[in-house]
Chain A
Amino acid sequence: MSLLAVEGLGIRFGGLHAVKDVGFSLKAGEIVSVIGPNGAGKTTLFNMISGVYTPGSGRVLLEGEDVTGLDPYLLARRGLSRTFQNLQIFQAMTVLENVMSGFHLRERGPVLADLFALPGSRRRSREAEEGARRLLARVGLERAAEREAGALSYGALKRLEIARALALEPKILLLDEPAAGCNAVETEEIDHLIAEVAAEGTAILLVEHDMKMVMRISNHIVVLDHGEKIAEGDPAAVSRDPRVIEAYLGAQAQESTHAHG
């Protein structure tokens, strides 16, 4: 059975049909990428799957259960976690605390225990801290642990968000442009990390502009254009698909006319 299944998903913003009748599915350990020109509706699709937007039509199934329109915090409890294209970091918290907050579901307890710093509360915090330090080491940020998150570079923040999302030990991880703004070395590191996480059995849904990365690590690719799925298949098939080539070249041609006009 697929871990995540999307069926006929669509949403309208005013008159614009931002996403229309999109469907695909993900199995454990699989890396599925969503690609398409700018404005194709990739992030909108992510926002519907992760509960940020309520879809206008269609269903999202998590392990066979209908979770359409469920709030992100309830999806988190069911094992779905994500990162954001436009970073959503807790700026005023330390790097370590950012990742510790990813342990929320496991570390939360009675408020009174937290107010009085009872042993249970301190133990939960300590366990979250140990886990968070392990994850920071995994993304290469262990030395920045005590720094304020707002002081980190863009590439480091991208990795910090991945570490925070991994803290939930998700069954399904949605990564929205994890390598955007990263240099070649950082991109390769993220690349390895994603492959590693998938190898551990997490299903990964990826939006990414770096085509080399997408082609290298994806098991399956879904191509969107103007909010509609125009193709899907393995990397080799998708890269040969004439509709895909046209969508990309068409977009480029339009952009260059625009630039010259």
Chain B
Amino acid sequence: MKLSAKHSTLLLLALIIALAPIFFPSAYYFRIGSVVFVNAVAVVGIVILTGYAGQISLGHAGFSGIGGYACALAPVHLGLHPALAAVLGAVVSGVMAYLVGRPILRLKGYYLAVASLGFGILVSMVLANETAITGGPDGIKVADLGLRTLLADAGVPLTNAQFWYAFSGICLLIGSWLALNLHDSPTGRALRALHGSEIAARTVGVDVARAKVTAFVISAVYASVAGSLIALQNRMITPDVAGYMHSIEMVTMAVLGGAGSVLGAILGATILTLLPQALTVFQQYEQIMLGLVMMLVMIFMREGLLPSLTALVRGRGE
């Protein structure tokens, strides 16, 4: 039986996640791997918003902030299990995205980019300044997810880094599966149609304002889950997670790899997460690097790394 493009993509991704540890020189790489996966989860959300629906958000880190702080605050104040706190964060992020997106997405043009930028800054300011609740700029501690202990009791002992590598890898697989399902579904076609030609999408009956809100809400949930994973993994969270630079980073990762393709976005997230790790000199110049990458991609490969390379290989093959 021939595998569909969706299933072969997922299989490839699963194989890479499962087999990469063979090549890890030290246990530290499990930690880097899990950071890559968490970033990739957020970026897959950007693929749905930007790659499918053609909308740009510069404030998605705000939703990561909501997801992250939900995991810190809900267990303390509401007595929720951290896993349920992450779900609560996702729901709150989805509702916020709906409330923020609904009035803005009726308008055409770049209103969403500007308004979402404002939203992201607002969230990070609240997180940094409401010291009594959020702990302020120094951040706040996050409860243990508890799953690793359960696994150990069940006879699967994993180190903390190994556990988070596997857990965020599985989250990325699920996130990719959902995004790939969406791509070839009626909703996905409506989103891609409005990206291609908004007027033609309206003509075939797509309620474009609603379709944009749908994409915005779904991608906000992805960002929120990524924020929750950061919080749970680090056992603490700071307002940086909601920061403006984090939003720009997400968009750059998506654009670098190819905003239209899930695999491309994951590649983009991988490269931009690994580069600063691999070349320590970059760490000081991370912002410059992001800007440079963005410019070079826009000038030389509008489609992003993966689609451009694929086209190149196909072109040579013919």
Known A-B contacts A115-B181, A115-B218; A108 and B192 likewise in contact (beta carbons under 8 Å): no
In the complex, the answer to whether B196 meets A93 with C-beta atoms within 8 Å is yes
A59 to B254 CA separation, bound complex (whole angstroms): 46
**Interface hits, A76-119 → B, CB 8 Å:** 76-77, 81-82, 84, 88-93, 97, 100-105, 107-109, 111, 114-117
Interface size on A, residues (CB 8 A): 40
B205 touching A111, Cβ below 8 Å: no
Stretch binding the partner chain, chosen from A10-18, A120-128, A188-196, A211-219 = A120-128
Q: Which residue of B has the minimal Cβ distance to A174?
A: B203
User: Is the C-beta of B288 less than 8 angstroms from some C-beta in chain A?
Assistant: no
CB–CB B196/A72 < 8 A: no
CB pair A114–B193 under 8 Å, yes or no, is no
Partner of A90, one of B182, B184, B197, B260: B197
- Please indicate the chain B residues that have their CB under 8 angstroms from the CB of A167 in the complex: 204
Cβ distance A105 to chain B, nearest Cβ, rounded Å: 4
0/1 per residue, B204-224, Cβ < 8 Å to A? 111110000010001000000
Docked Cα-Cα span, A105 to B186, in Å, equals 9
Please, which residue of chain A has its CB at the minimum distance from the CB of B202? A72
Cα distance, A73 to B195, chains bound together (Å) = 16
Q: Of A50, A72, A82, A114, which one neighbours B181 at CB under 8 angstroms?
A: A114
Inter-subunit contact A125/B185 (CB<8 Å): yes
Q: How does the 8 Å CB contact mask read for A64-76 relative to B, with 1 for contact and 0 for none? A: 0000000111001
Residues of A within 8 A of B195 (CB): 90, 92
CB–CB A88/B181 < 8 A: no
Q: Which residues of A contact B9 (CB under 8 A)?
A: none
* A46-74 Cβ-contact flags toward B at 8 Å (1 or 0): 00001110000000000000000001110
| B contacts with A: majority SS | helix
Which residue of B193, B205, B208 has the most chain A CB atoms within 10 A of its CB atom?
B205
Task: Confirm or deny: B162 has a beta carbon within 8 angstroms of a beta carbon on chain A.
Answer: no
The answer to the question of B201 belonging to the interface, with a C-beta cut-off of 8 Å to chain A, is: yes
B308 in contact (CB, < 8 A): no
Using CB atoms, name the residue of chain B closest to A116: B181
CB <8 Å contact, A114 and B187: yes
B200 touches A88 (CB 8 A): yes
What is the minimal beta-carbon distance from A45 to any residue of chain B, in angstroms? 16
Rounded to whole angstroms, the CA-CA distance of A56 and B147 in the bound complex is 64
Q: Are B206 and A125 in contact (CB under 8 A)?
A: no
Bound Cα distance from A102 to B202, whole angstroms: 10
Query: In the bound complex, do residue A168 and residue B189 qualify as a contact, i.e. CB atoms below 8 Å apart?
Result: no
User: Would you call A164 an interface residue if the criterion is a C-beta within 8 Å of the partner chain's C-beta atoms?
Assistant: yes
User: Are B260 and A115 in contact, with the CB atoms below 8 A?
Assistant: no
* A111-B218 in contact (CB<8A): yes
Does B188 touch A at the CB level, under 8 Å? yes
Bound: A81/B200 CA distance, A = 10
Question: Does the CB pair B188–A73 fall under 8 Å?
Answer: no
B53 at the interface (CB under 8 A from A): no
Contact of B196 among A89, A105, A117 (CB under 8 A): A89
Query: Which residues in A have their C-beta under 8 angstroms from that of B40?
Result: none
Which residue of B178, B185, B203, B218 has the most chain A CB atoms within 10 A of its CB atom?
B203
What is the bound-complex CA distance between A117 and B178, given in angstroms?
Answer: 8
Q: Is B199 an interface residue (CB 8 A)?
A: yes
Beyond A89-B200, A93-B189, 5 additional pairs, beta carbon < 8 A: A72-B202, A89-B196, A101-B201, A104-B189, A164-B204
**10 A-B residue pairs with CB within 8 Å:** A89-B196, A90-B200, A97-B189, A101-B204, A104-B193, A108-B186, A114-B181, A114-B185, A117-B185, A121-B181
Q: Which residues of B contact A (CB under 8 A)?
A: 178, 181-182, 184-190, 192-193, 195-197, 199-208, 214, 218, 260
- Top 8 closest A-B pairs, CB basis? A90-B196, A114-B185, A76-B205, A88-B200, A72-B202, A117-B181, A105-B205, A107-B186
